[in-house]
């Protein structure tokens, strides 16, 4: 075997042709051959580059997440099968420079191209992130641009290699092979929930390892310029002890809920923060619970449900089942004709009306307004104050509204809210409504009206480009009367 046909001696030529294909120039297959050992070496080097780039994306200490080595291999296997489908056996070609001779050679070119992409894009993103470039300064549709540009470029380049490398094959098989390659690329970019590395401390992740996934702001409908592309906190480590302690914790905290006081309009409060990957929701839960206790006399009647590694030993998980159990217990303890149940939900929100939930590797279902309405009805909770701090949360108003319900949201049904990134202490809605206005009034309506003006000013100052979030409120006549009685009691108590 001469130098032109020995893979080990022609690594440079393989990479050179892979680089040509990256910039959409037809690769020259002349003299290129592949072997199982060379294919294995390319797979190992590709994975090594992804692991190294993933480590460089982290600004501080991080731990290697071994299960990630098992992700992404389906795409590689399907790519190999697509190559075999169009070029299953070696062929004698009149023009060897225009197509691969067999499936291993075509598959090797795809891997060589992937290696060039991994090296180039890895270096670019490391330099940009380390240099402080903020991709999330863009909002709305523009928030997708880094992912869309990268995916489109790689998809076109890989499909072109599959197409020109199998030019002698049946046209239907060529189309199928190109489609499979692009489909598996999409699966590979979406199918890895976390990178190879997990931050040892919160707030240290610069970006998700490997191919850049859609920004959280785009994926969840969050228009926050400070949103992250990767997990902000260390990953939850599940064990039997964690599960058992969580069960005991919820039962203990529910048992500690104070009973109703005859003749007194009491408020019971639940905060629900189901998205673990950004600490702002945990912080907002704490602030809202604190305001409810200090301003609305809910001490002993407040429960926080939070998904976050930092609170596993303090608060029960924010899962739909735990929320239902909490609503049922609150309903049992309160006077359903007299007392009021306050609920604050804080997370990313989607345009489909779902409240995002994430606590990998724990599977957490998303919450919908109709499910929440059904649970409240079934529990017999009559008087309700429901607060939703999420993008597109205005879609919750109609399903929850009633004569006995006050519903207030951080946005309308068509716009994103703001302040859901790792650098945010609170969301814009949480800060204005709870940390500011409700510290000076007991009226949710007055606080909401004042918060709307503040949020509008702050969104303009922050450069929000997809339009005013437009927080919404709906107040039923009977809950308004019930809240007036609560306000009068709290004001009288404060005056003493």
Using CA atoms in the order 13, 19, 23, 29, what is the torsion angle rounded to 10 degrees?
30
Joined together, the tokens standing for residue 305 give 């449900």
Q: Which of 172, 198, 214 is the last residue of a domain?
A: 214
My answer on whether 177 and 90 are in the same domain is: yes
My answer on whether 453 and 387 are in the same domain is: yes
pLDDT tens-digit readout, 442-491 = 999 999 999 999 999 998 888 888 889 999 999 999 999 999 999 999 99
Kindly report the backbone phi and psi dihedral angles of residue 477, in degrees, each rounded to the nearest multiple of 5, phi listed first.
-60, -35
Closest-CA residue to 110 (of 62, 161, 41): 161
In a domain, 222, yes or no: no
Pairing of strands 383-389, 197-199: unpaired
pLDDT of residue 192: 54
In a domain, 398, yes or no: yes
When the pLDDT of each residue in the chain is averaged and rounded to a whole number, the result is: 80
Strands (E), 307-404: 340-346, 383-389
My answer on whether 431 and 324 are in the same domain is: yes
Q: How remote is the C-alpha of 37 from its chain's centroid? A: 39
My answer on whether 186 and 282 are in the same domain is: no
Q: What percent of the chain is predicted at pLDDT more than 90?
A: 41
Closest-CA residue to 150 (of 126, 204, 186, 179): 186
Residues (pLDDT < 50) of the chain are: 1-9, 92-94, 136-141, 201-232
Burial class from Cβ neighbours inside 10 Å (0-12, 13-18, 19+) for residue 142 reads: middle
Cα distances (Å, whole numbers) of residue 388 to 72, 285, 412: 36, 12, 11
My answer on whether 204 and 270 are in the same domain is: no
- Report how far residue 205's alpha carbon sits from residue 55's, in angstroms, rounded to the nearest whole number: 10
- Report how far residue 76's alpha carbon sits from residue 138's, in angstroms, rounded to the nearest whole number: 33
Number of domains in the chain: 2
In a domain, 460, yes or no: yes
pLDDT of residue 301: 95
In a domain, 225, yes or no: no
Beta bridge partners of 316: 305
Q: Which of 162, 197, 214 is the last residue of a domain?
A: 214
Closest-CA residue to 448 (of 424, 429, 466): 429
My answer on whether 57 and 149 are in the same domain is: yes
My answer on whether 244 and 200 are in the same domain is: no
- Report how far residue 381's alpha carbon sits from residue 336's, in angstroms, rounded to the nearest whole number: 6
My answer on whether 363 and 424 are in the same domain is: yes
In a domain, 381, yes or no: yes
pLDDT of residue 106: 80
My answer on whether 33 and 163 are in the same domain is: yes
Pairing of strands 473-475, 340-346: unpaired
In a domain, 231, yes or no: no
State which residues form the domain around 415: 240-495
My answer on whether 248 and 332 are in the same domain is: yes
CATH of the domain at 482: 3.40.50.1460
My answer on whether 173 and 274 are in the same domain is: no
Joined together, the tokens standing for residue 430 give 């949480």
Number of residues that this document lists for the chain: 496
In a domain, 390, yes or no: yes
- Report how far residue 444's alpha carbon sits from residue 483's, in angstroms, rounded to the nearest whole number: 9
My answer on whether 40 and 99 are in the same domain is: yes
Kindly report the backbone phi and psi dihedral angles of residue 43, in degrees, each rounded to the nearest multiple of 5, phi listed first.
-60, -45
In a domain, 226, yes or no: no
pLDDT of residue 436: 93
pLDDT of residue 384: 96
């Amino acid at each position: 075997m001469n130098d032109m046909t020995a893979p080990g001696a022609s690594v440079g030529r393989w990479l050179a042709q892979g680089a040509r294909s990256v910039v959409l120039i037809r690769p020259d297959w002349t003299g290129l051959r592949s072997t199982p050992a060379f294919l294995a070496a390319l797979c190992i080097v590709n994975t090594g580059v992804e692991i190294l780039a993933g480590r460089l994306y982290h600004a501080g200490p991080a731990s290697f997440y071994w299960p990630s080595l098992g992700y992404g291999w389906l795409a590689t296997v399907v790519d190999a099968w697509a190559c075999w489908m169009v070029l299953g056996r070696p062929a004698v070609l009149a023009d060897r420079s225009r197509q691969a001779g067999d499936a291993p050679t075509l598959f090797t070119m795809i891997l060589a191209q992937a290696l060039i992409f991994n090296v180039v894009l890895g270096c670019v993103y490391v330099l940009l992130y380390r240099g402080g470039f903020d991709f999330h300064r863009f909002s709305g549709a523009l928030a997708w641009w880094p992912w869309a540009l990268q995916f489109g470029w790689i998809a076109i380049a890989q499909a072109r290699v599959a197409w020109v490398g199998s030019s002698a094959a049946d046209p239907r098989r060529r189309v199928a092979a190109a489609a499979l390659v692009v489909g598996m690329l999409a699966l590979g970019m979406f199918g890895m929930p976390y990178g190879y590395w997990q931050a040892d401390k919160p707030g240290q992740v610069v970006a998700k390892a490997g191919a850049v996934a859609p920004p959280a702001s785009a994926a969840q409908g969050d228009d926050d310029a400070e949103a992250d592309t990767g997990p902000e906190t260390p990953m939850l480590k599940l064990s039997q002890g964690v599960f058992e302690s969580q069960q005991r914790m919820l039962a203990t905290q529910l048992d500690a809920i104070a009973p109703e006081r005859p003749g007194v309009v009491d408020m019971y409060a639940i905060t629900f923060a189901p998205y673990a990957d950004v600490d702002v929701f945990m912080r907002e839960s704490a602030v809202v619970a604190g305001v409810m206790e200090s301003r609305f006399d809910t001490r002993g009647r407040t429960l926080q449900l939070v998904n976050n590694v930092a609170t596993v030993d303090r608060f029960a998980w924010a899962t739909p089942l735990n929320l239902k159990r909490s609503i049922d217990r609150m309903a049992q303890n309160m006077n359903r004709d007299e007392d009021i149940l306050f609920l604050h939900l804080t997370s990313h929100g989607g345009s489909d009306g779902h409240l995002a939930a994430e606590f990998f590797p724990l599977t957490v279902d998303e919450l919908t307004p109709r499910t929440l309405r059904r649970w409240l009805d079934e529990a017999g909770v009559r008087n309700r104050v429901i607060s939703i701090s999420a993008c597109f949360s205005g879609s919750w108003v109609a399903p929850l509204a009633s004569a006995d319900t006050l519903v207030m949201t951080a946005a309308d049904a068509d716009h994103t809210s703001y302040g859901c990134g790792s650098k945010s202490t609170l969301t814009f809605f949480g800060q204005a409504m709870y940390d500011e206005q409700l510290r000076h009034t007991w009226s949710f309506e007055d606080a909401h009206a004042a918060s709307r003006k503040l949020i509008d000013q702050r969104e303009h100052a922050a450069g929000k480009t997809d339009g005013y979030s437009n927080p919404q409120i709906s107040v039923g006549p009977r809950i308004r009367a019930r809240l007036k009685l609560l306000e009068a009691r709290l004001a009288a108590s404060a005056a003493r």
